[in-house]
């Protein structure tokens, strides 16, 4: 009886902690997504108001959010039916990294057309992932 009770308590604690970990990962993702949106808005504002500082600050903010998508933690934060597609999310994150880094290079070289093209590619990556993961 004592053994059974111990097993039940341990299982209960384990389930609670797994659930808590999942909730924690999801809340991190939700926070990151909100920050990503802010970063994209900042880059766009910078582009429209010719503020390269704003654009670069947006890139920095964006790249700061990619850690959870690039790592294997992404498995925890995707919807259950999309968990298998974690490599697609990781690929999207690496493309976001690539285009945003290229944007900084383009800004520094004074190639604003290229920088704005990078912005549209960033936006495309965002929508591409949302189409897939959120089943648009």
Q: Which is nearer to other proteins, 44 or 121 (CB)?
A: 121
C-alpha–C-alpha distance, residues 75 and 8, integer Å: 28
- Which residues here bind other proteins, judged by CB under 8 A? 84-85, 87-88, 91, 94-95, 98-99, 101-102, 114, 117-118, 121, 124, 128, 131-132
Q: Which is nearer to other proteins, 51 or 128 (CB)?
A: 128
Q: Using N-to-C axis directions, what is the helix angle for 52-64 and 86-108, rounded to 10°? A: 160
Q: Which is nearer to other proteins, 73 or 117 (CB)?
A: 117
Q: Which is nearer to other proteins, 11 or 71 (CB)?
A: 71
Contact 79, 29 (CB under 8 A): no
Tell me how far, at minimum, the Cβ of 98 lies from other proteins, in Å. Answer: 5
Q: How far is CA 72 from CA 2, 75, 87, in A?
A: 39, 6, 9
C-alpha–C-alpha distance, residues 19 and 27, integer Å: 12
Tell me how far, at minimum, the Cβ of 69 lies from other proteins, in Å. Answer: 15
């Amino acid at each position: 009886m004592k053994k059974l009770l111990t097993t039940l308590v341990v299982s209960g604690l384990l389930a609670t902690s797994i659930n808590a970990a999942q909730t924690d990962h999801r809340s991190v993702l939700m926070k990151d997504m909100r920050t990503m949106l802010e970063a994209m808005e900042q880059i766009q504002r910078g582009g429209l108001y010719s503020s390269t500082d704003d654009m670069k600050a947006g890139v920095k903010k964006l790249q700061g959010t990619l850690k959870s998508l690039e790592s294997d933690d992404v498995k925890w934060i995707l919807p259950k039916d999309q968990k298998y597609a974690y490599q697609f999310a990781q690929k999207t994150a690496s493309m976001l990294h690539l285009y945003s880094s290229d944007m900084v290079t383009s800004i520094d070289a004074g190639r604003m057309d290229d920088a704005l093209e990078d912005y549209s590619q960033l936006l495309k990556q965002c929508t591409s992932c949302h189409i897939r993961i959120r089943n648009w």
